[in-house]
Structure 1
Amino acid sequence: MVTTAPLIGAGPKPRARRAIDQLRSTVELATDPHRALPNLYRRFGPVCTLGVGSTRNVFLLGAEANRFVLGHSELFRWREAFDALVVVDGETALIVSDGADHQRRRRLVQPAFTRRQIDGYARTMRATADAAIDKWRPGQRVDLYQEFRRVIRRATIQVLFGPRLAHDEPELGRLLQHALAVVERPPPWQRLQRLGTPAWRRATSARAAVADRVLAEVEQRRRAATWASAADPDRSDVLSLLVGSRDDAGSGLTDREITDQVISLIAAGYETTSAAMAWAVRALLTDRSVWRQARASLDRAVGWRYLDGVVSETLRLYPPAVVSVRSVAEPFSFAGVEVPAGSQLIYSPYVTHRLPELWPDPLRFEPTRWDPDRAEARKPGPHEYLPFGGGPHRCLGAAFATTELTVLLERLLQRVSSRLEPSDAGPVGLAAMRPRSGPFARILAVS
């Protein structure tokens, strides 16, 4: 059994006080999880256990907890932890794969996300953003979250499928939203839905319709072998690369594996990236000095830019995945607390990214904290800054997502003058945290 020494400040509380704090924390998590999670760390330190039986959750919080979780993947399973995502992503998606299956699938998917491939995808992202901005008019009030959500979904689907299928984006998005709607609900509701509620039936039916559409395209490409033709303009999209991918033994992904990877990439890609885009745009429009510095930084061709800091700072303060979960496969001890097999473990990038011992003035949106030329600059460790997770399951689409955010913000800064309008900026969602509404902007000029 893996063990660690107790951490300083992690000593036990009197039993009665601890019970009161646990009850208070349980209520807070149900009503206001974004406030409750930092409170857990303040009240209990790096380890906290809430609930009993099948509802028992063990929270490992803070940088050292992240280091432990990400460094001991052999102690955990993903399949049970992310079972709720199967209705969207499928049984063979990377996020629900463990062990050798995960390693094999990851090796076969990874070539679609090299830097060279992503640089090619950026052209599609830029063109899709411009097509949306072209429709905006001075005086118009725009919901920038919804606008860029559509842009991101269309760009993601075009990059995955190629331009031939991009016109199906509205229908594919509508279908996937039925499946995403059941995933966004709290775990008790997710379990009840599986008894056959109308929402669950809509989700499974919608997902099956998307899978049929993807599979039809896979079969068409296999028949025509277009992925092997240098003359084919779609040959470098993700679907073509997945169809043609082979391991050292000459084995490729099955049709089901390809379908699951494509659907999970669409769902995760546009859901989380559009959430991050909403926060980034809100930050730019809230503080005009941030907008001006980001706009001026576009003229810098090489090296660090202020806009790079805007993206990094957005992902620090507003990581789309507020928490991540693991199913404990082997018992272990952390900070003097025994964690039995079968527990559900939760760690939180959101909590870590807001700790004052790691980030001076942690709640301030300050892009220059990422400038490597600052005298006090410090590159955070992978256990201190983890908007895309870490370890062997780190999100393959991390560079894709940051590139997309950067490209879309560039086009907004270069082409649009606008002002922020009132909306509710309270956070909602744990898997893809976004503002409760908006941000809304009044368009002043479009170039």
Structure 2
Amino acid sequence: MPVPGTTPPAGPLGRSARYLRTVAELARHPYEGTENLYRTYGPVWRLGSGKLAYVYLLGPEANRFVFANSQLFRWREAFEQLIPVDGETALIVSDGEEHHRRRRLVAPAFHHREVDGYVEIMRTFADEAIDAWRPGQTLDAYEELRSVIRRITVRVLFGERLAADQRTLGRQLQLVLDLINQSPLVQQVQRWGLPSYRRATAARAEVARRVLTEVEHRRAHPDEDQHDVLTLLTAARDEDGARLSDVEIIDQVVSLIAAGYDSTSAAIAWAVHAMARDPKVWERARAETEEVLGSRPVTAADLPKLPYLDHVVNETLRLYPAAPFNARKAAESFTFEGHRIPRGALIVLSAYVTHRLPEVWRDPESFLPERWDPAEPGYRKAGPHEFLPFGGGPHRCIGATFASVEMKVLLAQLVRRVSLQLPRVPAKPVGFTVMRPERLPVRVRSRD
């Protein structure tokens, strides 16, 4: 039992060979490595010391505590490495009243009724990609779907004018995404002025310039009928009439791309990976969509009638959370599980660890969409501290509904139109900020 008021129990500390092996293991395998250390040291432990120390708070009760006590934590300092990319005013680096005000202005753009209006765009781009596939062809499903997500994201956020140049925007944004999807230590080294960092910040500045030009165009032409997030952010007003500044609009758009484009493309790739590995899942999803849709296109009104696809999406986000880790900075000292956490400590949470605990999930390593069906024997509704693919508390991902709808629309089109075969070699997860498959080669067995 911990002694009340003590600092968190140490993981392997010092400069011992064991410590160095642990650090190397976490660098190579951050997901499984964190899960193994949880088994060794429990839900509260630290790695390193001084300013380089990380305090891990893992598992459902740690999540519950952090989400319920948001006043104890700061986001800006925990995610300061994202500021050169996401911007000074992005939601992910905003705290307190500024976060509340910005989120209140941005939230209407991601209300369910707005997201429903994007379903046709999602379906159209999915079909255009599938139309180019041929039976017998082998392709990288991750890269294919990533391209679809990029087109959808740019079109929905920026509108038709900038969507016409989505390839160039995609290349610029990829430089930015490559930078932030490194471990915090690597990102810190990059900020010393390495060429990759300079290229990424230059690309970010060019994207910001193009967004500002488009904002100015919208304000000069208010009668243009544009249905996209940029229009909604430009028009957003608080109850006292205040609006987002140009810098705030740019930062929200760029950070939404960084959050949505990268993480959603990873999640949809993992869904295809899991479904193609189990033909029964693919065929059951296909049967559901055919029963509901017949031969007509999927619409927003159809999505609530596809519960099995909901289960597939949830199970994908459980087993393969796109954001395996989250972080906070302790704004003041506090005690959790008898351990005193000092002010200024960097707190690490992990959806990956929580989602794979056998004490929470039956057969946690297996992909079982039926576990989400209330009609199934043994069904148990997961609490927000147990299932957290989009985080939790006041900083829960504002694009959660958009991402879920996007995944469901793309999966509906895929299972209706193609059959895919995976090689026997399992997909390798890579990345730190976003867990994605390194490659996802698939063979197109049939189409339409």
Per the normalisation by structure 1, the TM-score is 0.92
Is contact 1:424-1:437 (8 Å) kept? no
Report what 1:49 is aligned to. 46
Report what 2:351 is aligned to. 349
Distance 1:100 1:139, change over 3 A: same
How does 1:379-398 map onto structure 2 within 5 Å?
379-398=381-400
Report what 1:419 is aligned to. 421
CA deviation map 1:334-360 (0-9, x unaligned): 111111111100010100000001101
Is contact 2:315-2:369 (8 Å) kept? yes
Is contact 1:424-1:435 (8 Å) kept? no
* 2:71 equivalent to 1:70: no
Is contact 1:78-1:327 (8 Å) kept? yes
Return the offset for 1:430: 2.4
| Aligned residue type for 2:164 | H
CA deviation map 1:357-383 (0-9, x unaligned): 110100010000000112321111100
Name the SS of the counterpart of 1:272 in structure 2: helix
Return the offset for 1:225: 1.5
Report what 2:240 is aligned to. 249
Return the offset for 1:134: 1.1
* 2:240 equivalent to 1:211: no
* 2:264 equivalent to 1:273: yes
Is contact 2:9-2:45 (8 Å) kept? no
Report what 2:133 is aligned to. 136
2:93 paired residue among 91, 96, 105: 96
Distance 1:213 1:374, change over 3 A: same
Percent identity between the two aligned chains: 55
* 2:336 equivalent to 1:372: no
Is contact 1:182-1:200 (8 Å) kept? yes
Report what 1:58 is aligned to. 55
CA distance in 1, matches of 2:80, 2:123: 35
Report what 2:337 is aligned to. 335
| Aligned residue type for 1:261 | Q
2:273 paired residue among 278, 282, 296: 282
1:127 paired residue among 111, 124, 140: 124
Name the SS of the counterpart of 2:347 in structure 1: strand
Name the SS of the counterpart of 1:80 in structure 2: coil
| Aligned residue type for 2:234 | V
Return the offset for 1:307: 1.6
Return the offset for 1:178: 1.1
Report what 1:262 is aligned to. 253
| Aligned residue type for 2:87 | G
| Aligned residue type for 1:348 | S
CA distance in 1, matches of 2:192, 2:366: 45
Distance 1:13 1:417, change over 3 A: closer
CA distance in 2, matches of 1:24, 1:61: 21
How does 1:21-36 map onto structure 2 within 5 Å?
25-36=22-33
CA distance in 1, matches of 2:11, 2:404: 45
Return the offset for 1:386: 0.3
Name the SS of the counterpart of 1:327 in structure 2: strand
Name the SS of the counterpart of 2:340 in structure 1: strand
Report what 2:108 is aligned to. 111
CA deviation map 1:115-161 (0-9, x unaligned): 11111111110011011111112222111100110100100110111
Report what 1:400 is aligned to. 402
Return the offset for 1:26: 3.0
Report what 1:158 is aligned to. 155
Name the SS of the counterpart of 1:421 in structure 2: coil
CA deviation map 1:401-430 (0-9, x unaligned): 010000001101111123223555121112
Is contact 1:321-1:349 (8 Å) kept? yes
Name the SS of the counterpart of 2:88 in structure 1: coil
| Aligned residue type for 2:229 | V
Superposition RMSD on alpha carbons, in Å? 2.2
1:38 paired residue among 29, 32, 35: 35
My pick for the range that moved more, 157-166 or 313-322, is: 157-166
| Aligned residue type for 1:443 | V
Structure 1 residue runs of 4 or more that deviate by more than 4 Å after TM superposition: 10-16, 19-24, 300-304
Distance 1:15 1:27, change over 3 A: closer
Return the offset for 1:22: 5.8
Name the SS of the counterpart of 1:359 in structure 2: coil
Distance 1:415 1:391, change over 3 A: same
| Aligned residue type for 2:71 | E
Report what 2:183 is aligned to. 186
Distance 1:268 1:13, change over 3 A: closer
Distance 1:159 1:11, change over 3 A: closer
CA distance in 1, matches of 2:282, 2:254: 35
Is contact 2:173-2:203 (8 Å) kept? yes
Is contact 1:89-1:263 (8 Å) kept? yes
Return the offset for 1:297: 1.8
Is contact 1:63-1:352 (8 Å) kept? yes
Is contact 2:330-2:344 (8 Å) kept? yes
1:428 paired residue among 430, 434, 442: 430
How does 1:285-304 map onto structure 2 within 5 Å?
285-298=276-289, 299-300=291-292
Report what 2:295 is aligned to. none
CA distance in 2, matches of 1:336, 1:275: 37
* 2:445 equivalent to 1:444: yes
My pick for the range that moved more, 315-324 or 286-295, is: 286-295
Name the SS of the counterpart of 2:434 in structure 1: coil
My pick for the range that moved more, 360-369 or 410-419, is: 410-419
Return the offset for 1:5: 9.8
Return the offset for 1:193: 1.6
CA deviation map 1:297-351 (0-9, x unaligned): 2224655622211110000000011110111110011111111111100010100
Per the normalisation by structure 2, the TM-score is 0.92
Return the offset for 1:444: 2.6
Name the SS of the counterpart of 2:46 in structure 1: strand
* 2:228 equivalent to 1:237: yes
Distance 1:330 1:12, change over 3 A: closer
CA distance in 1, matches of 2:73, 2:409: 36
Is contact 1:75-1:330 (8 Å) kept? yes
Is contact 1:424-1:436 (8 Å) kept? no
CA distance in 2, matches of 1:360, 1:253: 46
Return the offset for 1:240: 0.4
* 2:174 equivalent to 1:172: no
Return the offset for 1:446: 2.2
